[in-house]
Amino acid sequence: QVQLVESGGGLVQAGDSLRLSCVASGRIINNYYLGWFRQTPGKVREFVAEIRRSGATTYSDSVKGRFTISRNNAKNTVFLQMNSLKPEDTAVYYCAANLGDLGSRTDNYWGQGTQVTVSS
Each residue of 100-112: pLDDT tens digit? 889 888 899 999 9
Q: Could you give the 3-state DSSP secondary structure of residue 104?
A: helix
Beta strand residue intervals within 8-76, DSSP E: 10-13, 18-25, 33-39, 46-51, 57-59, 67-72
Each residue of 6-23: pLDDT tens digit? 999 999 999 999 999 999
What pLDDT was estimated at residue 28? 64
Q: Which amino acid makes up residue 114?
A: T
What pLDDT was estimated at residue 104? 87
Please tell me which residue, 94 or 104, carries the higher pLDDT value: 94
Each residue of 45-90: pLDDT tens digit? 999 999 998 899 999 999 999 999 999 988 889 999 999 999 999 9
Instruction: Spell out the residues 6+ positions from residue 101 whose beta carbon is closer than 8 angstroms to its own.
Output: 33, 50
| Among candidate residues 33, 42, 53, the one with its CA nearest the CA of residue 95 | 33
- Tell me whether strands 18-25 and 77-82 are parallel, antiparallel or unpaired: antiparallel
